[in-house]
Amino acid sequence: MHRSRFGFPLMVVAGLLSSSVFATERDVAMLLDGVKLIASPGIPGNIAVFGEDAFAVVQDAGGNVVVAAAKYGWGGVLLWGHNGYFGQESVETADTGRLMVNALRWTSRKGMPRVGVVGNADLSIYLRDQGLEALSIEAEDFASVDVLIGGTERASADLRSELTEWVKQGGAAIGSATGWGWCQLNMGQDLRTDYASNLFFAQMGLTFADGMTRDTAKDGYSTEPLPSTLTNASHALRVLVQHIDRKQKLDDKGLALAGTTLSTAMRCLPPDDQLFLPKLQNVLEARPVDPHPTPTKPITNKNILERLVLTQQIHQSWRLPSEQVKAHPAAATFPGASPEDTPTVRRVIEIDTSV
């Protein structure tokens, strides 16, 4: 049996790639073949996983997803939660490079894919050293390769449309970003609607989110245990409904993880999403609650439905013009309601930003 530079049996690759529909367990097994530990460049951000054909590949101890993948038509995509994963130091650390090569094969469904890398000569060289055909290209030249690495972060609407159809027909795209870092560097912009990569990958059921992850090993992430299925928001929502209807019981850890997953999706999906948000809205409308936390009746992980509604209310208020924002009913308890005749105070303060 012939093996690749990494020792991955190409016969197994061909066997796994012969079918148009995989079981997620087989997908994860292929992606994590020979991968026990990956690097942690800086502080990787998390990824929102919400499509029916999307799944976590690596997570931290709190269930925040560091690496995720999705099938889309005949193609596939995979995301890394930090730009640094495409850097030479990271890709040569532990089994990060192995996961990169596995990802190229899984997303393309080819044992030896032709790879196009945008704006990263070092990664192109690294992949060639692993025996792969890797070219430095512009994102617009995606049709000349089997897998496109990078380039979606500045893709125009027209290019995103072309890439979407290409992936659907069997192309593959791999991206990396630090969502929380993007938010800090792009004040006044919205990660959900202004970041081109998210507008593209959201169609596949994945987006770069706004949270941080925490290492599970020294300077890295262990791939064991495998990610929980509750890291997928669509699945977590179904399980939550079963729990509420007392058809399936979630323990405290499961409730906390489901809450984290759902809250992340609620914060970080484009408003026009049709993969998850309509399902969530149907659940919330069918089970109306009025979250009103008080010191004697706080909203905890066990009150997950109330927590989700409160999360929705808070984030909706954040996106309103200031003159339209109203106090949440819970404010009557803390810090307390202001008298109706309280005067409005306006003050202009000058800040010297050069200091």
Asked which of 227, 259, 285 is the last residue of a domain, the reply is 227
Q: What pLDDT score does 209 carry?
A: 98
Residue 152 and residue 270 share a domain: no
How many domains does one find in the chain? 2
Q: What pLDDT score does 17 carry?
A: 38
Q: pTM, whole model, 2 decimals?
A: 0.86
| Section 113-139 average pLDDT | 97
pLDDT band, very low/low/confident/very high, at 329 (cuts 50, 70, 90): confident
Residue 216 and residue 242 share a domain: no
| Section 113-126 average pLDDT | 97
Q: What pLDDT score does 19 carry?
A: 34
Model confidence over 210-243: pLDDT tens digits? 999 999 999 899 999 999 999 999 999 999 999 9
| Section 82-101 average pLDDT | 97
Q: What pLDDT score does 39 carry?
A: 98
Residue 57 lies in a domain: yes
pLDDT band, very low/low/confident/very high, at 44 (cuts 50, 70, 90): very high
Residue 79 and residue 196 share a domain: yes
pLDDT band, very low/low/confident/very high, at 9 (cuts 50, 70, 90): very low
Residue 313 and residue 214 share a domain: no
> Please, what is the average pLDDT of the chain?
90
State yes or no: pLDDT of 77 exceeds 90: yes
Q: What pLDDT score does 288 carry?
A: 82
Q: What pLDDT score does 289 carry?
A: 82
Residue 73 and residue 177 share a domain: yes
Q: What is the DSSP letter of 47?
A: E
Q: CA–CA separation, 266 vs 314, rounded Å?
A: 11
Q: CA–CA separation, 203 vs 198, rounded Å?
A: 9
Residue 88 lies in a domain: yes
Most confident by average pLDDT, 9-18, 260-269, 341-350: 260-269
Q: What distance lies between CA 162 and its chain's CA centroid? A: 22
Residue 187 and residue 90 share a domain: yes
Residue 326 lies in a domain: no
Residue 109 lies in a domain: yes
- Left (φ > 0), alpha (ψ -120 to 50) or beta: where does 156 sit? beta
Residue 223 and residue 246 share a domain: no
Residue 20 lies in a domain: yes
Residue 253 lies in a domain: yes
Residue 29 lies in a domain: yes
| Section 251-275 average pLDDT | 94
- Cis bond leading into 278, ω under 30°? no
| Section 272-300 average pLDDT | 88
Q: Are residues 92 and 245 in contact, defined by beta-carbon separation less than 8 angstroms?
A: no
The H helix count followed by the E strand count for the chain is 12, 11
For residue 149, list its beta bridge partners. 117, 174
Asked which of 191, 209, 227 is the last residue of a domain, the reply is 227
State yes or no: pLDDT of 74 exceeds 80: yes
pLDDT band, very low/low/confident/very high, at 112 (cuts 50, 70, 90): very high
Question: Which among 203, 211, 217 has a CA at the least distance from the CA of 231?
Answer: 211
pLDDT band, very low/low/confident/very high, at 290 (cuts 50, 70, 90): confident
Q: Domain range holding 251?
A: 234-317
Q: What pLDDT score does 18 carry?
A: 33
Residue 206 and residue 310 share a domain: no
Residue 309 lies in a domain: yes
3-state per-residue secondary structure call for 225-284: CCCCHHHCHHHHHHHHHHHHCCCCCCCHHHHHHHHHHHHHHHHHCCCCCCCCHHHHHHHH
Residue 140 and residue 49 share a domain: yes
Flag the least confident range among 49-53, 104-108, 304-308.
Answer: 304-308
Q: CA–CA separation, 272 vs 216, rounded Å?
A: 34
State yes or no: pLDDT of 268 exceeds 60: yes
Q: What pLDDT score does 301 carry?
A: 74
Flag the least confident range among 86-95, 110-119, 216-225, 286-295.
Answer: 286-295
Residue 30 and residue 57 share a domain: yes
Which one is predicted more confidently, 285 or 36?
A: 36
Model confidence over 12-39: pLDDT tens digits? 443 333 333 334 788 999 999 999 999 9
Model confidence over 165-216: pLDDT tens digits? 999 999 999 999 999 999 999 999 999 999 999 999 999 999 999 999 999 9
Residue 50 and residue 17 share a domain: yes
Residue 175 and residue 114 share a domain: yes
